[in-house]
Amino acid sequence: MTTYDDNDIASLFDPQLEDPVPVIPPGALPPSWAAGRQTPAPQPGPRAWSEVEFPPHPVTEVPEEVDPRAEDPAVLAEDTRTPERRRKRSKRRGKTPADREKAAAKKRADRARKAVRLQLTGTSGHITRTSRTSTAWFVQKQGPWNFRTTGKQRRFIRDEAMVLTNLQQAGVERLHRRLVRTPFPVEQWAKDHDQWAAPIDDVPGALSWAEYLRGQQHAMLWSNATIKGRYWGIELPQRSVLGIGLDYLANTLGYVANWPLLGTLSSLITGWADDAFAREEKALADHLAELERIMAGRGVNAAPASPTAVDYLLRRSATIGLPLAAGGGAAGAGDWEEDDVAALEDLTDLSLTPGDGYTTVSGVVEGRRYTGAVIVLTVGRMAPLPIPERMLPWQVIGDPSGEPLEWSDRIELHDKAQTIRTMRSLTGKIENQFDHYTVEHDEVPPKELAEQHTRVQDVISDVEEDHSGLSTRTSGWYRVAVVGATPDEARKKVAGLREMYKPHIALEQEHGQFQLLREFIPGEPRANIAHTRHMDVEAVAAGMATAGDRIGDRRGVVLGETSSIAPRPVIWDCFAAHEIKHKSGLTPIVAVPGSGKTFLAGMIVYQAVRAGAYGVVLDPSGPLKELANLPEFRDIARVYALTGRDSRPGALNPYRVIIDPRRDDPEYDTGHTDFARAADPFAAAQAKYDADMRAAAAERVEVAVSVLKMMLTERHLHLEHTESVLHLAANRVGGDRDHNLGEVLDAIKAIGETDPDQAVRTCASGVYQQLELMSRLAEARVLFPEAGTVGSGVDDFDADIRLTILTMPGLQLPPEGVPSSQWTPQQRMTAPLMHMAAWLANRLVYEKPRHVRKVLFLDENKYLESTGAGRTLNLRIARDSRKFKVRALVCSQLPDDFLGLDGTDDKTALTYEVFVGDVGGDPHAIDGALKLLKLPAGQGFEAFLAELGSGGEDTLDEDTDTSYQDQARRWMVRMADDVELVRSSWVHFVHLSHVFAALNSSTAKNVLGGAA
């Protein structure tokens, strides 16, 4: 392994670097190699006779012997006549058996080398050449499929089918499509993540930033994730016979160009040849331009392959069965000459054991030799495929296996006239067979003949009557390569893949595996014509080989891995919505208790703070407070208890929690763009500042009234004058920061004594008695400061703290389903305490400079949404989070908390990212989750949401309980228009074991695979 100096920044991005993290990654290997890397290296067996090294013989002096034949004249004469024959005889006599065996082995190797010599002669840009054909290559990237409506999925298929139709109409007759896999670019992720982040300082003895990056790469490598890419190889028209002949004559007569008469003829023919070549070159350029326009169309959106992409295609195709890093083709990318092709032939050694049905592949990658077994399967008979209504695209069915399957499609496109001729010829054959049964033998013909005749007539009718081109017919050969570290492993994978494709599609294991594997290489001939699939372009496009899981980006925090089609890491730039898309940072996390909300939020907060963001957590139940004890957060994290013995009087005083705007903020600077057109920028800035000061004072008054209303019983709330009494008292106190709720109570008491209206006095007296009783509770000390004070501790929060965690130990949450009239005073205090704690968390975030990144986590959002003031707070978070660069993770158990109890406070339009976990299977909750995810009802998405619990069947019967099979929590995640199923799995992230221990709740144990 490579080693670097500790100060070398490049060492951060080398996943094979020796480091203290106890992980042994498989490098950039496909999943097939993960098991192979874990098995012990095979011991060398007995070597062939030709490879045995003999010990040196001792040199001894041998006395010369006199040959009696040397004195015979006849023998001398014979030896003189045949000296050459004698030399050959002596040369043969001088060879040992080992020499002869080596020579035979060399001949066998030479014969094998000739058998695998490539047809490729070179490349030019995105065009590969053989001695007979030229092929232009285009690259199509991985596309979406999951959680799209059936109409959109049909449109995806139809768009790709139209591309095939347009290619046929442009004169294309043959295609070679190659689906290749590249390892997930963990090295590039580390580089991008390092640039994206502003990491906190390393702490001695704690996990350093370099170790963190390395550990993240190792964990993602262990998942063996790959990214798809499909190459479209379009065969170009061959040169005309006239042009080739003129070139031949021009080259032949070039030797006599200076002769008197023949030189004139040579110049004439050379000119003709040049003109013919120029015309053909222009026609080819126009044809290539037309192909680029077609391939860039909707449905494929492919671009001409870059030299690096062509380089990777050739290397990947020549080394199927061997690992190849994503950047393996980047070095020296450019046009290939014949010498380069010869080097490509030397990348692998291929051998086929007759009768075993697999190809053994061996080669050296990055100085290490690998050996594997490859089995190529061919798509056989296909039943009618209900795609997309009930099936995945037929070339994606095997992707959930997690294997890096590679496809090679050889497709011939037929024009309308050719198809009709072929079908009418087939009709004649069927009718002749029918007559053979009925007329010649007077027998009942098989029913299959009538069915075949009907199908042929349907094809003719479709082709003749179709004007869209979607009935264009094709002939194709579709191969898929399955790789195993050993032949037995490859056979097991083949058996599993066949089971996945049954009963709709048969996968055939043909003879000639060696030739079938060579067919994957551009320029190589088709291995055979068996199992030809005759389909229209829509059936071909229904393969959708590039469909995959698409969500997130490649530079942010890790959320888990996708689990819809094929697993790959889910990376989320949690500040892209603010910095790039200009969207809200409100992120609902919805799931029933025990579904992993707190664990997921804790992992996001931990990674974001490590990357330099400021974190504020309001966690009433308190498990996240252990994050402050992590070694890497030493001296930059604080925990503040808002209830219990450690709480500080007045810490949640509304008048102190809501802060005034700061005059030195950039938005009040006279140079701000908002004041560019003002006649007096200073006066305009001051007017804006004064208006915001008045707004803050009014907000304090409203929040004070809301908090007091939450403390009242149902009876007092429904009194006629309660609302007016509370507002009158709060307005008398005013909205300055030097007040507190005790002064409002005094004002209410004064109204109950001095107001001229008897009804008002009665109401005020009752309200005062209730609130004065509530203010004496131990839970209320954070709302009501000591006499003569405005609250202590609120202004003492350290400005240099990166992670602030607010907990509320001892908080008594109201029981579900119990009317509020039956709540205890302690339970009634939950709503005002949660409300003011959310305001404090909000304030700790918003008092930071606008340009810095911030993460806010609010738990138990249902208690905020139960009041109008709480809904206002959520709405403010949703609308202002973009301006202040706040990622607000708001947890709740029901989607209604974000959709509004009566549908009038819907925040769906304000959410750009949404996490929905197990919602318990309730139809109403599922409908709300679909609305949050912006998915339509009636499309089958309800089944996904109903099954979002942990894998297996959960039962108390130990004999039948299978819930342990997959205990990673699953989430439906929406980011922009992408919706995917994500497994929050952390089994390979061993470098974060101390973080998991800090989040050691029952949910965390389930995520990590431990006991609940």
pLDDT confidence of residue 607: 95
pLDDT confidence of residue 951: 55
Mark out the alpha helices in 618-713 (DSSP H runs): 654-657, 681-710
Give the torsion through C-alpha atoms of 242, 244, 247, 249, to 10 deg.
Answer: -70
pLDDT confidence of residue 146: 85
- Spell out the residues 6+ positions from residue 199 whose beta carbon is closer than 8 angstroms to its own: 209, 610, 611, 612
Residue 2 reports pLDDT greater than 70? no
Q: Average of pLDDT values for 747-757?
A: 91
How far CA 433 is from CA of 159, 221, 765, in Å, comes to 40, 59, 104
Q: Average of pLDDT values for 180-206?
A: 91
Residue 1006 reports pLDDT greater than 60? no
Burial class of residue 738, CB neighbours in 10 A (0-12, 13-18, 19+): exposed
Residue 865 reports pLDDT greater than 80? no
Give the torsion through C-alpha atoms of 30, 35, 41, 47, to 10 deg.
Answer: -70
Which range (319-333, 694-708, 962-976, 983-997) has the least confidence? 319-333
- Spell out the residues 6+ positions from residue 67 whose beta carbon is closer than 8 angstroms to its own: none
Q: Average of pLDDT values for 211-239?
A: 88
The answer to whether 482 touches 546, Cβ cutoff 8 Å, is no
pLDDT confidence of residue 991: 92
pLDDT confidence of residue 142: 86
Angstrom distance (rounded) from CA 406 to CA 590: 38
Question: pLDDT, tens digit, for every residue of 777-804?
Answer: 888 888 888 876 765 544 555 667 899 9
- pLDDT higher for 170 or 368? 170
pLDDT confidence of residue 401: 87
pLDDT confidence of residue 729: 93
Residue 744 reports pLDDT greater than 90? yes
Question: pLDDT, tens digit, for every residue of 430-461?
Answer: 777 777 777 777 777 777 777 777 777 777 77
pLDDT confidence of residue 798: 60
Predicted confidence band at 962 (pLDDT cuts at 50, 70, 90)?
low
Residue 835 reports pLDDT greater than 90? no
Q: Average of pLDDT values for 96-122?
A: 65
Predicted confidence band at 109 (pLDDT cuts at 50, 70, 90)?
low
Question: pLDDT, tens digit, for every residue of 487-502?
Answer: 999 999 999 999 999 9
Element (H, E) at 915: strand 913-916
The size of the chain, in residues, is 1012
Q: Average of pLDDT values for 942-970?
A: 67
Question: pLDDT, tens digit, for every residue of 133-154?
Answer: 889 999 998 888 888 888 889 9
**DSSP secondary structure code for residue 486 in this structure:** S
**CA atoms in the 13 A half-sphere facing the CB of 259:** 9
Question: pLDDT, tens digit, for every residue of 345-359?
Answer: 777 777 766 667 899
**DSSP secondary structure code for residue 729 in this structure:** H
Residue 400 reports pLDDT greater than 80? yes
The secondary structure of 318-349, three-state, reads: HCCCCCCCCCCCCCCCCCCCHHHHHHHHCCEE
Mean pLDDT of the chain: 79
Predicted confidence band at 294 (pLDDT cuts at 50, 70, 90)?
very high
Q: Average of pLDDT values for 568-584?
A: 89
pLDDT confidence of residue 62: 37
Q: Average of pLDDT values for 211-233?
A: 89
Question: pLDDT, tens digit, for every residue of 363-389?
Answer: 877 777 888 899 999 999 998 888 888
Mark out the alpha helices in 204-331 (DSSP H runs): 209-222, 241-253, 260-295, 307-318
Which range (623-637, 769-783, 891-905) has the least confidence? 891-905
What percent of the chain stands above pLDDT 70?
A: 78
pLDDT confidence of residue 480: 96
pLDDT confidence of residue 22: 37
For 578, other C-beta atoms within 10 Å of its C-beta total 22
**DSSP secondary structure code for residue 653 in this structure:** -
